[in-house]
Structure 1
Amino acid sequence: MATASAFIDIPASADQVWQLIGGFNTLPDWLPFIPSSELSEGGRVRTLKTADGGTVIERLQTFDNAAKIYSYSIVEAPFPATEYLATIKVEAQGQGARVTWSGRFTANGVSDEEVVALFNGIYQGGLEALRANYPD
């Protein structure tokens, strides 16, 4: 099983950051390459539309509002990976917050290095887009 991870420090409190990203349906609020998200199955499944017209379906696996963390799996996506499980976590870091986005998965049809590079890029790009919501 391969893993990818990225983090970013944000000049806002962990509570402020969690308020923006802590909802399972909030990706369009901070992630430009996900312009829409629709919930189903009582809020446990989200269907995401990507900026290039693709569809990604994800299932919420764990959610802890107090700890500011949730995990989700991919039900359907155009990614070369199976057994995908990712986690988004917000922690207090000095005067600000540290957001970590990490995942584990099995490469499917490509090398581990290729799929790790793909998800590292998605996570880092997503976190940089999040950071843009909090000017210094």
Structure 2
Amino acid sequence: MIRVTTSSVINAPIDTLWQAIRDFNALPDWHPTIASSKVEDGGSPDRIGCIRSMELAGGGGTIREKLLTLSDSEHSVTYSILASPMPVENYVATLRLLPVTDGNRSFAEWTAEFDVSAENEAAMRKLIGRDVFQTGFDSLKKRFGG
């Protein structure tokens, strides 16, 4: 099992940033690689156990993810991938926020642990760390002005 962690400081108060992130079905609102998302049973996107089905931008395929935890007090969300075009297994990720009191900003950390074959490890580290996590953080920085 490998671990990929990406972090960033975003110029938004933690409560403002958390409102953008906590909706498990709202990834297309702030992540440019996600074209659309729907909760499969039409239920609430903050219900533990709900499954979102997302279409990747540019026809890159479908990803299905299950919400494992959602904590408003800890500003964190944990989910697993059920199906993906990526060659990963046992994928579990957590996105969490912490307040940065200097300037009323937020520290964001996105971590994933997963199994991947040795020949795909470098590519998946780069894809997940840069193209998924950092791209999401960069988009949030643009949305909140820096």
Pairing 1:21-60 to 2, within 5 Å after superposition: 21-41=21-41, 42=43, 43=45, 44-53=50-59, 54-60=61-67
Supply the RMSD in Å over aligned alpha carbons.
Answer: 1.4
Instruction: Identify the residue that residue 135 of structure 1 maps to in structure 2.
Output: 145
Distance 1:110 1:82 in 2: 14
Residues 49-102 of structure 1: CA deviation (Å, up to 9, x unaligned): 111221110001111122110100001100011010001111101221111111
The answer on whether the counterparts of 1:8 and 1:131 sit within 8 Å (CA) in structure 2 is no
Normalising by structure 1, we get a TM-score of 0.93
Give the counterpart of 1:125 among 113, 122, 135.
135
Give the counterpart of 2:84 among 61, 77, 87.
77
Runs of 4+ with deviation above 6 angstroms: none
Percent identical pairs in the alignment equals 29
The amino acid across from 1:70 in the alignment is V
The answer on whether the counterparts of 2:40 and 2:52 sit within 8 Å (CA) in structure 1 is yes
The answer on whether the counterparts of 2:87 and 2:120 sit within 8 Å (CA) in structure 1 is no
The amino acid across from 2:18 in the alignment is W
Distance 1:4 1:64 in 2: 21
Instruction: Identify the residue that residue 105 of structure 1 maps to in structure 2.
Output: 114
Give the counterpart of 1:116 among 119, 125, 130.
125
The answer on whether the counterparts of 1:80 and 1:109 sit within 8 Å (CA) in structure 2 is no
The amino acid across from 1:72 in the alignment is Y
Normalising by structure 2, we get a TM-score of 0.87
How far does residue 109 in structure 1 lie from its aligned partner after superposition?
Answer: 6.7
Instruction: Identify the residue that residue 87 of structure 1 maps to in structure 2.
Output: 94
The answer on whether the counterparts of 1:84 and 1:105 sit within 8 Å (CA) in structure 2 is yes
User: Structure 1 stretches of 5 or more lacking a match?
Assistant: none
Distance 1:46 1:56 in 2: 8
User: Structure 2 stretches of 5 or more lacking a match?
Assistant: none
Number of equivalent positions: 136
